[in-house]
Amino acid sequence: MSSSPPASATSTGKSNIEMEGMSNSLPASGTSTGKRLEGKVAIITGGASGMGAYTAKLFVCHGAKVIVADVQDDLGASLCNDIASENISYVHCDVSSETDVRNLVDIAISKYGKLDIMYSNAGIGGQFNVASIIDAKR
Ligand SMILES: NC(=O)c1ccc[n+]([C@@H]2O[C@H](COP(=O)([O-])OP(=O)(O)OC[C@H]3O[C@@H](n4cnc5c(N)ncnc54)[C@H](O)[C@@H]3O)[C@@H](O)[C@H]2O)c1
């Protein structure tokens, strides 16, 4: 992985993912270190920014079909535009809503016929007196 920062969405709300930031680690297909997720279908919650966005970029580079799920719709759309691959798409999903999560998984199954990877990354940083994101108040 490149030593450069993930160029992810920042607190300014701007997505500035740069594919070239990963150029040193782009997988070379056909080698033992090539595309390690070819044909895999992945959902990444909280994927519109930060580590989730970086992971989405990495997964696409490795050949995965990625559905980014988040509540920041503009940022999610911007990320997909920046990555500019048919293998990434965005779905609005609040992970504290069972209905949203069910809809998200249904979309993955109907679009790709399977789901291989569920990266439950969505979360809120900082100190909170809540046991889980489900209990977090907006
Ligand atoms: N960055 C760190 O040092 C660190 C340390 C420990 C744990 N974590 C955890 O790792 C995960 C990613 O961290 P990050 O630094 O990339 O954070 P981030 O704030 O950049 O990204 C978190 C994403 O989760 C999304 N999100 C928040 N609530 C959501 C919800 N209810 N439904 C769907 N999406 C939701 C946000 O919109 C955001 O895009 C978080 O769960 C965070 O708590 C991060």
Measured CA to CA, the distance from residue 124 to residue 134 in angstroms comes to: 11
Q: Is residue 46 within 6 Å of ligand 1 at its C-beta? A: yes
pLDDT digit string (tens) for 73-119? 999 999 999 999 999 999 999 999 999 999 999 999 999 999 999 99
Cα 35 to averaged position of ligand 1 atoms, centre (Å): 26
The model's pTM: 0.81
Nearest CA to ligand 1 atom 5: 125
Domain locations in the chain as residue ranges: 35-122+131-135
DSSP string computed for 72-107: -HHHHHHHHHHH--TTEEEEE--TT-HHHHHHHHHH
* 35-122+131-135: CATH superfamily: NAD(P)-binding Rossmann-like Domain (3.40.50.720)
Helix (DSSP H) and strand (DSSP E) numbers for the chain: 3, 4
Question: Among 119, 128, 121, 1, which residue's Cα sits nearest to residue 50?
Answer: 121
The pLDDT value recorded for residue 126 is 75
